[in-house]
Amino acid sequence: MKRLSTLLVCAVLVMVASGCGYNTMQQNEEAVKAAWGDVEAAYQRRNDLIPNLVEVVKAYAKHERETLQAVTEARGKVGSIQAGGGALNDPKAFSQFQEAQASMSSALSRLLVVVEQYPDLKANQNFRDLQVQLEGTENRINVARTRFNKAVQEFNTSIRIFPNSLTNSLILHLTPKEAFKAEAGAAKAPQVKF
C-alpha cells in the first residue's frame, strides 16, 4: 500500500509537471490573442487609409456626398468600437465589431463603384496609389481573419478535449472564443478593380 501511494504521488507529480494541458491551453490562448492583434492591426490599417481616400475622391466627385458620408460614418463607428476594446472576450462586442467592419466594407465598395463614373479620378496617381494600398490592406485583413479563425478553432478544441477540459473547469475557466463568420462582403475582400 505504501509503495502504491508513493507511485501515486509520482504519477500526480508528473501530471502536475506536464500540466494536464494547462500549458497547451495557455499557449493556444496567447496564439488567439496574437492573431487577434493582427486582425485589429489590419483593420486599423484600412481605417487609416480612409481619410486620404475620402479626401482624394472629394476633390473629383463633389456630388457623391452621400456615399462619402456613409464611409466617414462607418469609419467613425469602427473607431469607437475599436476604442472600446474587449471584443475578444465578449461575444456581443465581437459581433458588434464584425458588424461595424462589415458596414465599413460595404460603404467602401459602394464608394469604389461610384468612382467608376469619374475617369479623371481614376487616372489620378494619388488615387491609384491609395487603391493599391487598399487592395493590399483588404488582403491582409483576409489573411489575418483566416489565421485568427484557425487559432480560435485550435483554442476551442484544446479546452474541450479530455484532460484539458478537466483542468479548464477546475483551474482556468476559459470560455470558447468567437470566430469570424463568413458573410456577404466581409468574407471576401471587395474586388477593387479598374
Partner 1 sequence: MSSEFGVQRQATRITGKSCLRARSKHVRLLVVFSVLLFSFFGPCVFPGSRLLAPDSELSFLPEAHAADVPPLKGYVNDYGDMMSSTTKSRLEAELKAFEQTDSTQLVILTVPSLEGMPIEDYSIRVAEAWKIGQKGRDNGIILVVAAKEKRMRIEVGRGLEGRLTDLTAGRIIDLVIKPRFKRGDFNGGFIAGTAALIDAVKGEFTAEQAGPAAKTDSLSPIFTLLLFAGIGLLMLGSISRILGGVAGALGLPAIAYLTVGPSVLILVLLGLLGFVMGIFLPSLFSGAGRGRGGGIFFPGGGSLGTGGGDFGGGFDSGSDFGGGGDFGGGGASGDW
175 forms part of the interface with partner 1 (CB under 8 A): no
Query: At residue 97, what are phi and psi to the nearest 5 degrees?
Result: -60, -50
Smallest distance, partner 1 to C-beta of residue 66, A: 29
What is the smallest separation between the CB atom of 121 and partner 1, expressed in angstroms? Answer: 18
Footprint of partner 1 on 116-145 (CB under 8 A) = 129, 132-133, 135-137, 139-144
Tell me if 10 contacts partner 1 by CB under 8 A: yes
The rounded distance, in Å, linking the Cα atoms of 76 and 168 is 38
Q: Which is closer to partner 1, CB of 28 or CB of 67? A: 28
Residues 34-93 that bind partner 1 (CB under 8 A): 38, 42
**Residue 63 Cβ, how far from partner 1 at the closest point, in Å?**
29
Sequence-ordered list of residues with C-beta below 8 angstroms from that of 114, at least 6 positions apart, any chain: 61, 64, 67
Note whether 21 binds partner 1 by CB under 8 A.
yes
Cβ-defined contacts of 122-129 (< 8 Å, 24+):
122/194, 124/56, 124/60, 126/56, 127/53, 127/56, 127/57, 127/60
Concatenate the DSSP letters of all residues of 21-48 into one string.
GHHHHHHHHHHHHHHHHHHHHHHHHHHH
Name the residues that contact partner 1, by CB under 8 A.
3-4, 7-8, 10-11, 14-15, 18-21, 23-24, 38, 42, 129, 132-133, 135-137, 139-144, 146-147, 150, 158, 161-164, 189
